[in-house]
Amino acid sequence: MIFLSTLLFSVFTTIALTPLLGNLAVRLQFVDIPDERKVHLRPIPRIGGIAMAVGALLPILYWLKDDQLVRSWLAGSAVLVIFGIIDDLRGLGPKAKLVGQIIAALIMVFYGELTITSLGSLLPDGRILPDPVAIPLTLLAIVGVTNAINLADGLDGLAGGICLLIFSAIGFMAYQAGISSIGFIALAMSGAIFGFLKFNTFPASVFMGDTGSQLLGFSAITLSLSLTQQSAVLSPMIPLLLLGLPVLDTIYVMAARIARGVSPFIADRRHLHHRLLDLGLHHTESVMAIYLVQTGMIVAAYVFRFYPDPLILSGYILFSAVAVYLSIHSHGIRWRIKRSGWYDTVFKRALKRLRDEGTIIRHTFRIFEIGMPLLLLFSCLIPARVPQYMSVLSILLAACILAALLLGKSSLGTVVRLALYLIIPFAVYLGEKDPSAWMAGAPMHAYNLLFPLFVVFIIVISKFSRRREGFKSTPMDFLVFFLAIAFTKLPHAKGSDYQTGLMAAKIIIFYFCFEVMLAELRGEVRRVAMVTLGALIVLGGKGLF
Give the residue from 166, 239, 214 showing the smallest Cα distance to 483: 166
473 pLDDT higher than 60: no
The pLDDT assigned to 341 comes to 56
Q: CA–CA separation, 288 vs 268, rounded Å?
A: 22
In the chain, the percentage of residues whose pLDDT exceeds 70 is: 84
The pLDDT-based confidence of 32 (bands split at 50, 70, 90) is: low
Within-domain flag for 301: no
Contact 277, 232 (CB under 8 A): no
Q: What is the mean pLDDT of residues 164-191?
A: 89
The pLDDT-based confidence of 109 (bands split at 50, 70, 90) is: very high
The pLDDT assigned to 81 comes to 93
470 pLDDT higher than 50: no
**Which letter does DSSP use for residue 338 in this model?**
-
Strand partners, 32: 44
Examine the domain organization and report whether 404 and 540 are in the same domain: yes
User: Among 219, 240, 261, which residue terminates a domain?
Assistant: 240
Contact 268, 153 (CB under 8 A): no
Give the residue from 187, 180, 147, 184 showing the smallest Cα distance to 164: 187
Contact 235, 307 (CB under 8 A): yes
At CA 160, angle to CA 456 and CA 482, rounded to 5? 25
Within-domain flag for 268: no
Burial label for 482, CB within 10 Å (0-12, 13-18, 19+), is middle
Q: CA–CA separation, 153 vs 49, rounded Å?
A: 12
* Structure-model confidence comparison of residues 158 and 466, the more confident one: 158
Q: How far is CA 168 from CA 164, 220, 339, in A?
A: 6, 10, 35
Within-domain flag for 257: no
* Structure-model confidence comparison of residues 260 and 491, the more confident one: 260
User: Among 240, 269, 288, which residue terminates a domain?
Assistant: 240
What distance lies between CA 480 and its chain's CA centroid? 7
| Residue range 198-209, pLDDT digits in tens | 787 767 778 888
Within-domain flag for 24: yes
Residues in the chain: 545
Contact 49, 18 (CB under 8 A): no
The pLDDT assigned to 80 comes to 94
15 pLDDT higher than 80: yes
274 pLDDT higher than 80: no
DSSP annotation string for 286-303: HHHHHHHHHHHHHHHHHH
529 pLDDT higher than 80: yes
Strand partners, 45: 31
At 248, which amino acid appears? Answer: L
The pLDDT assigned to 489 comes to 52
The pLDDT assigned to 399 comes to 92
3-class DSSP state of 464: helix
Give the residue from 454, 460, 461 showing the smallest Cα distance to 506: 454
- 460: Cβ–Cβ under 8 A, 6 or more apart, which residues? 360, 361, 364
Q: What is the mean pLDDT of residues 296-301?
A: 92
Examine the domain organization and report whether 487 and 374 are in the same domain: yes
| Residue range 237-254, pLDDT digits in tens | 999 999 999 999 889 888
| Residue range 116-139, pLDDT digits in tens | 999 988 888 778 899 999 999 999
Cα R_g (the chain), whole angstroms: 24
| Residue range 386-402, pLDDT digits in tens | 888 888 889 999 999 99
The torsion angles phi and psi of 32, rounded to 5 degrees, stand at -90, 115
478 pLDDT higher than 80: no
The pLDDT assigned to 358 comes to 64
Contact 176, 305 (CB under 8 A): no
Q: CA–CA separation, 530 vs 412, rounded Å?
A: 11
Within-domain flag for 326: no
Neighbours of 300 (CB within 10 A): 19
Enter the pTM of the model.
0.79
The pLDDT assigned to 237 comes to 94
The pLDDT assigned to 140 comes to 95
Choose from 48-57, 153-162, 264-273 the range with maximum mean pLDDT.
48-57
User: Among 240, 259, 292, which residue terminates a domain?
Assistant: 240
31-32/44-45 β-pairing: antiparallel
The pLDDT-based confidence of 331 (bands split at 50, 70, 90) is: low
Contact 216, 160 (CB under 8 A): yes
Within-domain flag for 115: yes
312 pLDDT higher than 90: yes
**Domain assignment of residue 531, given as a range:** 342-544
Within-domain flag for 253: no
Q: CA–CA separation, 182 vs 199, rounded Å?
A: 27
| Residue range 178-189, pLDDT digits in tens | 888 898 899 899
The pLDDT assigned to 493 comes to 46
Within-domain flag for 45: yes
Strand partners, 31: 45
- 141: Cβ–Cβ under 8 A, 6 or more apart, which residues? 116, 221, 225, 239
- 64: Cβ–Cβ under 8 A, 6 or more apart, which residues? 70, 181, 184, 185
Burial 506-542, CB ≥16 within 10 A → b, else e? bbbbbbbbbbbbbbbbeeebeebbebbbebbbbbbeb
The pLDDT assigned to 460 comes to 79
Mean pLDDT of the chain: 82
303 pLDDT higher than 50: yes
The pLDDT assigned to 413 comes to 81
Instruction: Name the CA dihedral angle for 215, 217, 222, 227, rounded to a multiple of 10 degrees.
Output: 120
Domain count, the chain: 2
